[in-house]
Amino acid sequence: MNLSRLAGDAVQYLFVGIAAFLSVFPFAWMVISSTNTSIDILGGKATFGQAFAANVGNFFAQVDAPLVFWNSAKVAVMATVLTIAISSLAGYGFEMFRSKTRDRVYSMVLLTLMVPFAALMIPLFMMMAKSGLIDTHIAIVLPGIASAFIIFYFRQSTKAFPVELRDAAKVDGLKEWQIFLYIYVPVMRSTYAAAIIIVFMASWNNYLWPLIVLQSNETKTITLVVSSLASAYNPDFGVVMIGTILATLPTLFIFFVMQRQFVQGMLGSVK
């Protein structure tokens, strides 16, 4: 009995052990490869080398790194602030001011969740071209500000917001926008934290839409730069590795600092 249990445990450890190793290996590969030359990387060398400084030097020679990083950060921060502000207003509004018409509007908003981006990108591109917004950062951000997912997330969370707080604030003579700003937002800060992480990460990692809209080197974000470095005719993978590290570090940092909110945000859709 005890022996079979021990064997069972061993199998389970082996299973999750292999899964954990395979999950982490590409990260280790990224770090190790950043110290190797492109030839060594493509030759499968999995030990640290001496090319780190050269790779970093080449990366900074080929890429205006501060500008690219700044572009990514600018887009992600703009997207996060605007999306959270506008979409949380709506999530709160749909729940607090219910009416038949608005519930119907809400169902339609939810319906847009299933619209694939591929079916939007052509008209969106034409719209942006017409308004002269091609190659601007605002064009990246605009279509995502009203996010059905974030609206849904906030509406679901608002169900747990104590109505007494709102009633008390009303008796005190606060206006609706004051209640939202001074009572709702602070009370719901953990919901906000999770939503901020989702939107920031999605925006930082966004690829297809920026690929379409951003066309000059002055506006490109880090994901675009990594992608174009790696798809060059004869890519220097040492340089590519420096790029992937820079692209991954912020999200990795957020993950480790705010793991709880991170996971809560991901689960938000089913709770």
Partner 1 sequence: MTIARANGLKRSYDLNGWLFIGPSVALIAIYLVYPIFRSLYLSFYAGKGMMMKFAGFGNVVRLWHDPVFLSALTNTVVFFVVQVPIMITLALMLASVLNNDRLKFIGLFRTAIFLPCVTSLVAYSVLFKSMFSADGVVNASLLAVGLIGTPIGWLTEPFWAKVLVILSITWRWTGYNMIFYLAAMQNIDRSVYEAARIDGVPAWARFARLTVPMLKPVILFTTITSTIGTLQLFDEVYNLTEGKGGPSDSTLTLSLYIYNLTFRYMPSFGYAATVSYVIVIMVALLSFLQFYAARDRS
246 three-state secondary structure? helix
Going by C-alpha positions, the residue among 185, 200, 186, 190 that lies closest to residue 254 is 200
Q: How far is the CB of 162 from partner 1 (least distance, A)?
A: 18
Q: How far is the CB of 118 from partner 1 (least distance, A)?
A: 5
Locate all alpha helices (DSSP H) within 34-141, ordered by sequence: 38-42, 52-62, 65-96, 100-111, 121-130, 137-141
Dist CA 69 CA 165 (whole Å): 42
Going along the chain, which residue ranges are E strands?
A: none
Dist CA 174 CA 168 (whole Å): 9
Q: How far is the CB of 225 from partner 1 (least distance, A)?
A: 10
Q: How far is the CB of 103 from partner 1 (least distance, A)?
A: 11
79 close to 144: Cβ distance less than 8 angstroms = yes
Q: How far is the CB of 53 from partner 1 (least distance, A)?
A: 20
266 close to 151: Cβ distance less than 8 angstroms = no
54 close to 238: Cβ distance less than 8 angstroms = yes
Query: Residue 151 or 169: which CB sits closer to partner 1?
Result: 151
Query: Residue 102 or 189: which CB sits closer to partner 1?
Result: 102
